Structure 1
Amino acid sequence: MISLGEGLFLLVYNLFVLPVLLAGAHLLAVVDGKFRRGVRGRYTCLRRLKAALAELSESRPRFLLHAASMGEFEHVRPFLRRLKQAVPDCWVAVTFFSPSGFENVRPDREVDFTMYLPFDWPWTMRRLFALLRPRALFISRYDVWPNQIWLAYRSGVPAFLLNASLTPTRFHRALLRPFLRPLYHRFATIFAASDVEAAAFADMVPGARLVVSGDTKFEQVWWRREQAQKQPILPAALHRQRPVLVCGSIWPEDAVHLLPALGRLWEEVPDLLVVLCPHEPEAEQVRRLLAAFPGREAVVFSRLDPASQPDVLVIDRVGILPLLYATARVAYVGGGFKQGVHNILEPAAYGIPVLFGPRHRNAPEAEWLKVAGAGFVVTGSADLHQSLRRLFNDPTFRDRAGRQAEQVVKAHLGATAKILCAVLDRLGRQHPAAAGAQRRSC
């Protein structure tokens, strides 16, 4: 039964908010290639899904996971890994909002099918659930679409929000929260990433359906660390005898501060190898980074000669950054001079100190690393240079910071098992196979 408040919210959303959002997306698609690819992909996604399901046995349990982009998907990979182990014959479809996810995630042992999230019209979401008939809908972190949640509920599909995050700003409290409350009420369980995140949901979700589980991204970065030991990404001769600084997820706003600091750092650490990984390694961004160091040998990863010894290595490939951190003594993670810092846990898992910019409220782990003496906030070029100089010239200080970084990651492992057991328990009330999987896995 739909409440008056929920009905009003959906009416306003479908008549006014969603048409404006989709009109804006189509206008942006005219001038922006990324938006254009995303819009086009949504017109064919359900047709692709129908073709894939035509070859699928009706007896296989099906699950649907949605992630905004590649980063949010990577965070929940440990959950999918364990789900596949618990329900070996299940079929997992993953939808993405952003091309960064759809274009870079391919079917593998954890994922059977990928597609764009359809436009959030009621009729397209109704068709999605009618075609797929999933046992459950999982959403990573925050990318919640009203008709998707409402139609899942109407279709009898329990929805779970994993690693749930909701910024508790004054704007949310004053304007959006009364409208969002009915939406979040439709979730079977919301798994909050931390106590802070749980507090943001507390007045919108019944207590029994709000669980502080921790964040599965800790397991993912730990798993990545183990994989890096099995598949080294750079030639040993390039980095084995040299100090290495890996700068990951770099934006132009980071480069403004980073590049002058590196110029000064080379005067004190002349054999330094700098690995620069732009957040979006498009051709123009790669060219700018290659040209930023006159007098230094700079090469791109795709053309790296295993016998060469460049000063700068610019990464022009997506998906290998976590493996690159395995070669570093120190890491800088970008985004902190733009909209918010990117994944600082990836380098921390390798036991190396991490530097990042001042905008890091989006990542609670930044504060944990700071308190542990393993994370260092920099506010500009001079500050960044001073921190890098100390970390490279004081091995005792660097090693102590690195050990603390590793401990922060290890202390937060365990979310995946907690979430999986709760999900299987909930599904076991509807599906006997899930009950059996819960007994085997929990």
Structure 2
Amino acid sequence: MPFHAKARLFVTGRKQLLDKIKHQLAGDPRPKVWIHCASLGEFEQGRPVMEAFRQQYPSLSLVLTFFSPSGYEVKKNDSCADHVFYLPLDSRRHARLFLDIVQPRCALFVKYEFWYHYLAALHKRAIPAILFSAIFQPRHPFFKWYGGLYRKMLTFYRQLFVQDEASMRLLEKLQIRKVQIAGDTRFDRAARVLGQDKRFPSVERFGANSRLIVAGSTWQEDAVLLAGVLRNLPPHYKLLIAPHNTGESDINKVKELFPEHCLWTDDEERLAQSRVAIVHTVGQLAYLYRYADVVWVGGGFTRSGIHNAIEPAVFGKPLFWGPVYARYREAAELIAAGAAASLERPEALLQALSDEDALLRMGNRASAYVQSQLGATEKIMRYISEKCLLITE
């Protein structure tokens, strides 16, 4: 089962881990910067900062660690970092040995990473620890009666870069003052994707002379809604659907809902003649949003909520998703800006698709919203350059 496979990787990936780290770093005498991500989503938030380090400080060596196998196994060979490892489990001994080996000039943590012994050891050694793209909500343990240990960890950070004013206000109530509103680095990442002229001619042909709905990171509930919508739309509407899970059984469930389907990797002639194309591979979705006339963001019928709405918003697309989105700041703000809508029934999406002028306004507002959110990476790097790194390039 997938859970057991992930658990096995979690354990086996950490066997003799400190020896592996020591051996690998022994051949790299450059000064180190350590950046830690919980998993794949946090990696995408950290990527713009890592790319900025690459550009501004080529003499530094980036050491990237992951807590989760779903991050490490996918990105262990990524060129964003010089060295990629699992993070040894949080203990006083592991923290001491890890820092002895890496000796980082500074340590960067992405969004939701609080490991007591690592943070305490960094603080004791006066190594600057930075948290960025963070967001704090009243439901978090920092703001509960039992959250004393979590509150103490906040004091170990040299600086916290938060996404919004609400987070800063919550931290002020705890007398945490070393806080700056920088925004979310995912916007900077999405803007870079917009600037890359990465195209898929087969998809261009598939969507030619059509109104193309691109549905990203969908779950079964999303696919069921979209199937009901497509049955009631004119033939010139097409669907490009990218399921969140791309295992064989998950793809087969999507195929059953759309008899007129093909796979997006099928030959161009078959793709052009099909009404539904299923994206059964990973890594392309952020670029495929370029071709959409309308975007459906999946996950809004699951407990965890919608997936990344920033990636399609950067292309100036009208956005729709299911009812579960409140945990995501950008989703609420996109709706407030008139760039997106939360819908629960096929009839509501059909009605929205019938108003072309409203869709155009939504797309323009999505683009404007993204533009207003850019610049987090620059703010973070300016602080690190001025306060943490005593080197010049």
TM-score, normalised with respect to structure 1: 0.82
Partner secondary structure for residue 202 of structure 1: helix
For structure 2, the residue ranges without an aligned partner over 5 or more in a row are none
Give the deviation of 1:269 after TM superposition.
Answer: 2.7
Match of 1:404 among 365, 377, 384: 365
What letter matches 1:272 in structure 2? Y
Q: 1:61 aligns with which of 31, 35, 43?
A: 31
Is 2:287 the counterpart of 1:323?
Answer: yes
Q: Which residue of 2 aligns with 1:183?
A: 153
Residue in structure 1 matching 2:268, options 279, 295, 306: 306
The aligned counterpart of 1:10 is none
Residues 1:342 and 2:307 aligned together:
yes
Give the partner amino acid of 1:182. K
Residue 95 (structure 1) aligned with residue 60 (structure 2): no
Q: Does residue 100 of structure 2 align to residue 130 of structure 1?
A: yes
Does the alignment pair 1:162 with 2:126?
Answer: no
**Does residue 368 of structure 1 match 2:333?**
yes
Structure 2: distance between partners of 1:416 and 1:201: 21
Distance 1:235 1:332, change over 3 A: closer
Which of 394, 418, 423 is the aligned partner of 2:355?
A: 394
Q: Secondary structure at the match of 1:307?
A: helix
CA distance in 2, matches of 1:257, 1:216: 27
The aligned residue for residue 4 of structure 2 is 32
Contact 1:185 1:204 in 2 (8 A): no
> SS of the residue aligned with 2:109?
strand
Kindly indicate whether residue 177 of structure 2 is the aligned counterpart of residue 213 of structure 1: no
What letter corresponds to residue 237 of structure 1 in structure 2?
Answer: R
Q: Output the CA distance in 2 between the equivalents of 1:61 and 1:324.
A: 38
Shift of 1:171: 5.7
Counterpart among 222, 236, 258 of residue 191 in structure 2: 222
Kept after mapping to 2: 8 A contact 1:352/1:403? yes
- Give the distance between the partners of 1:200 and 1:322, measured in 2 at CA: 33
Would the alpha carbon gap of residues 108 and 97 (structure 1) be closer, same or farther in structure 2, given more than 3 Å must change? closer
SS in 2 for 1:341: coil
Match of 2:44 among 74, 78, 97: 74
TM-score (norm 2): 0.92
RMSD: 2.2
Percent identity reads 28
The superposition leaves residues 66-105 of structure 1 with CA deviations (integer Å, 9 ceiling, x where unpaired) of 1111111111211111122221111111111222211222
| SS state at 1:368 partner | helix
Residue 385 (structure 2) aligns with: 424
In 2, Cα distance between the equivalents of 1:170 and 1:120?
Answer: 20
SS of equivalent residue, structure 1 residue 369: helix
Structure 1 residue 275: deviation in Å? 2.0
Structure 2 distance, partners of 1:46, 1:273, is 51
List runs of 5+ in structure 1 lacking aligned partners. Answer: 1-27, 438-442
What is the CA-CA distance between 1:108 and the residue it aligns to?
Answer: 4.6
Say whether 1:196 aligns with 2:163.
no
The alpha carbon displacement at 1:195 in A equals 0.6
Distance 1:73 1:354 in 2: 24
1:92 & 1:305 partners in 2: Cα distance? 41
